Chain A
């Protein structure tokens, strides 16, 4: 016990050392401080827990789901109320709602990961190039960003999906097209902060090409604030994706997408409320998780804004 305690103390001292012996130690020390700030916020830890649970459920959906998400028991199990055999009840096709919600977590993850992978790099490139190049390039790129920023997201996504045709891939493209501008703004702001610093001057003197400077020396500086913003946006993305699904424009049946499940439960809301209520609960919990996590991350990574 006492040995464990002293070794733990040494670890902490090593991490919080004023004179780190190596770059790795300094980095770990800083991460440790961030982690301490983060875990001091209980709500943020709850958020992290929810997101980890979502990932866990999505990975092991095949093991966790008690029934098939698409094939139901039409004859024996239509619209059953929640009980011990079907924890969330069954829908009009006799499918177990819990199983569908569990498999639906995969679609939710799929949507947010793809939107983040498409939208964040677009914003990062636009913002860093605009910020580093300056002048006309900056003015034109930022004008375009502002134009997209002023657009109503949901309506534009609706119109895009209307043109591209319904489906989860098109919904992802539509959401990604409408959600990159804030990332470009953030990336540009960060770029402007580091652009005139000595280390950039140093690499310029060493003859690095603008492309290399942007890619290797400016983009890494933008990553952390971008991650926070993406995390905060995840909740909105989930809700827009579910909204598109609810309107029949996102994932198509029989895919167990949460928004589409609510839409199919709409007809039964007065008598079999659980068909619509359960998937909505899942949406609420997951997007709340992302909001809590994003909030906590912002406070932990950016001590200036904490409490604001």
Chain B
């Protein structure tokens, strides 16, 4: 971080970099804590401004006044707002978001049950995005200004502009109803639903563990369409960023040097330039993963995918506020964590930002 002359005493340099690292870590922890605190404060605020009285939501609006007062005291709603916030904070940190009115289970238990479905969908989606996004981005950068470059750009922009729930509906219409290439809504077919025992909750992994290839094919056939749609939006982002990073790398002097040395173009592009672009790319991929985890809400609704997005929207429609806020905090926390991770990775992986 300092622009001081490089010291040639190894000892001194190491100590300096260690303290700089500690400082950066401290700063990172502080930022992370402040952001999580902010998230909890915002959800607390949302719970406060909502027009539904939380006490009446628990005891029902026909309960006698004495019951309402007792419940108000029991749940701490008679305390000053800042005390209520600390109570809320304490519970949220312990993972206690109250009980879902809809499922009658603790919200955290519900979330633990549905989260693997979202995780699996977002992971497969990101993998598809990577698989297509990086080669397309590299190709666009290498053939800059050509027809391919323009095509990649337009395909990417369409991906940015696509209402994914709409594309999902059309996808179901074409590939499920008309062509019959894939299975329809849900995670697993009815033939396997009762014989299949989840272990990790990631059905593709579970099927492999149990060597149940019929179930694997069925699960794959269910996940491929929603995951491809998510993968498309992720590809749009990844290909665009890859192109930009690659253009940056290809204009560096070491590329000229490599060419002068007579290295093959393929070696220069894939071996040198892409490897240098890999550091920022990792952060982009982590960010895109976070976006997919969040963005899968609408996809899950369209595909009746039993993940956290469907859980959230179902709870919303039934005014199950504990579940809504709990799911919001969990998704928000994962999103923030991945965001911070991408920052941290950038600093750890790129020696230039360490100095």
Contacts and interface: CB of A to CB of B under 8 A. Distances in A.
Nearest to B50: A163
A287 B34 CA distance: 34
B328 A287 contact: no
B336 A150 contact: yes
B332 A151 contact: yes
Nearest to B48: A163
A295 B319 CA distance: 40
Interface string A145-175: 0111011111110111011110000000000
B240 to A, nearest CB: 10
Interface string B289-323: 01000110110011000000000110011010100
A284 B298 contact: no
Interface residues of B, number: 56
B163 A242 contact: yes
A247 B166 contact: no
Interface in B105-163: 144, 150, 153-154, 157-158, 160-163
Contact of A249 (B150, B157, B316): B316
A283 interface: yes
Given A146-B31, A152-B335, A308 B247 contact: yes
B46 A159 contact: yes
B161 A156 contact: no
A300 interface: no
Nearest to B248: A308
B163 A280 contact: yes
B321 A162 contact: yes
B340 A288 contact: no
Nearest to B343: A150
Given A162-B324, A269-B169, A150 B297 contact: no
A193 B172 CA distance: 51
A155 B335 CA distance: 10
Nearest to A47: B157
A253 to B, nearest CB: 15
A146 B35 contact: yes
B163 A270 contact: no
14 contacts: A146-B35, A151-B38, A152-B335, A155-B294, A155-B327, A164-B50, A246-B298, A248-B317, A259-B163, A262-B169, A284-B158, A288-B161, A291-B160, A307-B144
Given A164-B50, A277-B169, A280-B169, 10 more contacts: A158-B297, A162-B319, A239-B161, A248-B317, A276-B169, A280-B163, A280-B170, A288-B158, A291-B161, A308-B244
Interface of A: 43, 143-144, 146-148, 150-156, 158-160, 162-165, 235-236, 239, 242-243, 246-249, 259, 262, 265-266, 269-270, 273, 276-277, 280, 283-284, 287-288, 290-292, 295, 307-308
